[in-house]
Each structure stands twice: as C-alpha cells, then as structure tokens.
Amino acid sequence: MTKFFKTLAISTALLAASGAVFAESHAAMSPEDAVAARQTHMKLLGQNMGVLGGMAQGKMDYDAAAAQAAADALVENAMIADMAKFPEGSDSDSIATSRALPAIWTNFDDFTAKAEACTVAATGMQAAAGQGLEAVQAAMGALGGSCGSCHETYRKPK
Amino acid sequence: MGKLLTSLGALALVGLGTAWMLTEPDPLPASSIDGLIGDPERGALVFAAGGCASCHAAPEADDQTASHLGGGRRFETQFGTFIAPNISSDPVHGIGNWSDLEIVNAVMRGVSPEGAHYYPAFPYSSYIRADVADIVDLAAYLRTLPAVATPSLDHEVGFPFNIRRSLGGWKLLFLNEDWIVQTELDAQETRGSELVEGLAHCGECHTPRNILGGSNTSAWLGGAANPSGDGTIPNITSGKLDWSAEDIAIYLESGFTPSFDTAGGEMVHVVRNMAKLPQSDRDAIAAYLKAVPPVTQ
C-alpha cells in the first residue's frame, strides 16, 4: 500500500510539473494534446478520489496520513489550475476522443466558476482529511457534487 | 363501377371509423381509485422515484427550487422539441384543480383531463406499470408544493406528429402494462423491477427506440442513442456493466463510479432522486439489473 501511495505521489508531482510546462507553452499545445492531458489529469484526480472514497465507503481502513496525501494532491491538481488545457477547438465536435461539450466555450465564465467551486471543495477535503473518517465522509459529498455539476452540463455522454 | 366506388367509399369510411375508435383515449375508470386516500409523505418518495422534478422544475432550478414545478425545460428530439409543462399546484397554469383520477390518468395512461393524448416524452409508457395507490399518494404530495404562475408553452412539433389523435395509434403499438423481464424474480428483484420498469423509467433512455419512437424491448437496457442531445446512453445490463450490485447501489446514492468518476448529464438528476429513496430500494434496483438478460453489443 505504501508503494502505491509513493507511486501516486510521484505521478502527481510529475503531472503537476507537466501541467506547469503546458501552462507556460499552452499556445503551442495542440487541441489533441490538450484532450490527452485533460484525460490523464482526470484519471489522476480519480485515483486520489479513490483513496478518499474507498475510506469513506468503508472499502479500506481510514488512514489519516494517506487521506491527507490524497487530499493535498487533489488541491494541487484541482481543476482551476487546468484552464490552459481547454483551448478552443478541443471540444467533442472537433475531436473524436473529446467529451468536452462545445457549451464550455460558449459559457466559459460559468465553466470557470464551476472549476473554481471544485477547487473550493478540494480545499474543504484538505482541511477534513486528517480529522477522522466522519469528516472525510462529510467532505466527500461536496466534492462529488462539484465534480458532478460540471459533468452534468459540460460532458458529453459516452 | 359506381357500385365498386360506393363499396370502396363505404370500406374507407369503416376504416376511418375503426381508426378513430382505436385511437380513442383509454382512461382508467373511476373505480380504479376506490378507497384510496393519498398520503403526501409516501408521495414524496414516489415523486423522487419518478424523477418528476428532473423535467418539470424550471431550467435554471437549483436544489432549493427543484420543487417549483413551473416547467419550461426544453427537450430536443428527432420528433420535435417538447417543453415540459407546469405541473405545480397553481389552479390556472398548473394542475391545482385536478382530481386524483385526472392525475392518475395523466401519469399512467397519458390522457389529459380533457381527454387528449399526451406525447410519450412524458414517460407514461413506464408509469403505466406503477401502483395506482402510489400515484394517488403522489397527487397528495404534488398539492403540497408551491404554486407557480408560469404558463405552459406549446410543444414545437411538426406534421404529422402534431396530430395528437395519431398518438392513439402509437399507444396501441407501444403502450402496455406487462412486465418486461418475464423470468422469475425474487422479492428484492421484483421491487427493483417495479422501480426500473415503472416509476424510475430507466428504460426510457437506456433502451433503444425503433423508428416510431417505441421501446425496443428485445435490447432492454442495452444502451441507446441519447434521445435529447449528443452521444450515447450506456448499456446497463450485465452484458456490459461489470459493476457489483454494491457498486451500483453506491453509484445511485453518491454518483461515484467504482473508479471515482462521477455521474454526468441527466444522471446527475437521477442520482439526486435515487439518493432520497431508502437504501433497500437502491439495493433492489442493483439486484434487478443483475437479473436482466444481458445485452451484448
């Protein structure tokens, strides 16, 4: 298990680093690269959510340090840091593998606000993660809700 | 020749007359609600299971205003655009003056108090399998919700779908109250079938439709084109969905998939509703989905 968390921490750091590179050079990032980067990013968020959710759902034992590490990683990779990965032309009409609906670019302010809400929820989880299982369970609802509010409006069904 | 024409004419008249009779609305009789008294508390659960607010709340509704049923959400389909009507307790614009029987016939038969057919965008072809007592409870609950004075808008549907009488023909073909899964189910799976095939109307999106918009029940819950937008709605039979029953129940409560993706699109509303039901109902839905014949495609 420790190895798993180490790998997770390393891949998180790598992804954060690659995110920084993308952010600096996003004008040069092709829409195809943006889609691939977003999807990797989402998988990583899912992995960290999996640690917290697995504990919240009783599928693994609560471990304060592991929960904190996962929550810290979530904040580091929260959506708001990811706006550079949403260039025009990376929507589901333009790229077959993309599930990002064109509505994102016609409502970019709302999309950004929802991404910001995700960051707020992740920060809430960061504060709760070390405070015991019940605190994690309570923060999980808000976090899931913030993911869902974007997926509801801006993600194409498969 | 004249005689032949007369005979043909007579035959055509008989045909038209028969068509007219066959397409006549077929409401439930008043006796179907004999002795039933609506319980609004139970009705709140029926309301959640039926997902009424998901369509009839205002398009901009949030959690607080989801019970304001003024309508207005638009559903763009291949047959035209349907606009959810006001079903709030407003006596003029909503259904505040409707009797229990009128509400039961709207929900379970797709027939308005004036005797007109509703379009099957209103999922009465699933609600027909509901328990009449549940719908009387629902009616009692709907009366407790706020009145909203927003007028209902006409659907934007072109010829020939704008002839409501023709929906009588659609009902003849596609409306029936038989259970779809006919194999023997245990008590928990049976409760699941009541929800999935009835109130929760899962098949409306998860089952493919034929060219006339009827449900293709040979691929029941086998996934379909999104009826109102881009993309596809997934196959939720065990032919494709490999989640455990516990995974399914957790998803319906929390919106989290086993890999901690979340529900999106219309399923966000569905999860919000399913989370209001007792745990036993989510478990029943999961057990039923495991018992549905797998569709592989």
Q: Where are the domains of chain B?
A: 29-174, 187-291
The distance of B117 to chain A (nearest Cα, Å) reads 31
A140 contact B CB<8A: yes
**Angle between helix A31-56 and helix A133-154 axes, rounded to 10 deg:** 150
Query: Tens of pLDDT along B87-128?
Result: 999 999 999 999 999 999 999 999 999 999 999 999 999 999
State the Cα–Cα distance between residues A97 and A87, nearest whole angstrom: 15
State chain B's maximal CA–CA distance in angstroms: 76
Strand partners, B117: B111
What is the token pair recorded at A144? 């899931």
Closest CB from B256, B265, B271 relative to A53: B256
Tell me if B263 and A148 make a contact (CB, 8 A cut-off): yes
Q: Could you give all domains of chain A from N- to C-terminal order, each with its CATH number?
A: 2-154 (1.20.120.10)
- Across all residues in chain B, what is the average pLDDT? 95
The distance of A141 to chain B (nearest Cα, Å) reads 7
Tell me if B268 and A53 make a contact (CB, 8 A cut-off): no
A58 contact B CB<8A: no
Q: Among B78-82, B199-203, B284-288, where is mean pLDDT lowest?
A: B78-82
pLDDT of residue B18: 85
Per-residue pLDDT at A139 exceeds 70: yes
Per-residue pLDDT at A158 exceeds 60: yes
In chain B, % of residues over pLDDT 90: 87
The distance of B35 to chain A (nearest Cα, Å) reads 42
Mean pLDDT of A65-73: 97
According to DSSP, residue A100 is labeled: B
Give the best residue of B63, B256, B257, B276 to mutate against chain A (max A CB count within 10 A). B256
For residue A4, the SS3 value is: helix
E-strand stretches of B84-136: none
Q: Residue A158: its chain B contacts at CB < 8 A?
A: 231-232, 234
State the Cα–Cα distance between residues B269 and A111, nearest whole angstrom: 19
Q: Residue A53: its chain B contacts at CB < 8 A?
A: 256, 260
Per-residue pLDDT at A16 exceeds 80: no
Closest CB from B229, B230, B255 relative to A148: B255
Distances (CA, A) of B206 to B4, B108, B273: 51, 20, 17
pLDDT of residue A83: 83
Nearest to B142 by CA among B134, B150, B152, B131: B134
- Across all residues in chain A, what is the average pLDDT? 86
Closest CB from B234, B250, B255 relative to A57: B250
In chain A, % of residues over pLDDT 90: 74
**Contact status, residue B171 vs residue B133, Cβ threshold 8 Å:** no
**Contact status, residue A121 vs residue A143, Cβ threshold 8 Å:** yes
For residue A145, the SS3 value is: helix
State the Cα–Cα distance between residues B218 and B9, nearest whole angstrom: 40
B223: left (phi over 0), alpha (psi -120 to 50) or beta: left
**Contact status, residue B98 vs residue B90, Cβ threshold 8 Å:** no
Nearest to A129 by CA among A73, A80, A69: A69
pLDDT of residue A20: 46
Q: Residue A148: its chain B contacts at CB < 8 A?
A: 255, 262-264, 268, 271
Minimal-distance CA residue of chain A relative to B226: A157
Minimal-distance CA residue of chain B relative to A57: B250
Per-residue pLDDT at B82 exceeds 80: yes
Tell me if B263 and A157 make a contact (CB, 8 A cut-off): no
Tell me if B268 and A149 make a contact (CB, 8 A cut-off): yes
Residue written as tokens 């029953």? B245
Query: Tens of pLDDT along A18-43?
Result: 444 444 444 568 999 999 999 999 99
Give this complex's ipTM: 0.84
A114 contact B CB<8A: no
Count how many pairs of residues, chain A against chain B, have C-beta atoms within 8 Å. 61
State the Cα–Cα distance between residues B180 and B215, nearest whole angstrom: 11
Per-residue pLDDT at A51 exceeds 90: yes
B76 pLDDT band, cuts 50/70/90, is very high
CATH number of B187-291: 1.10.760
The size of chain A, in residues, is 158
Mean pLDDT of B179-203: 98
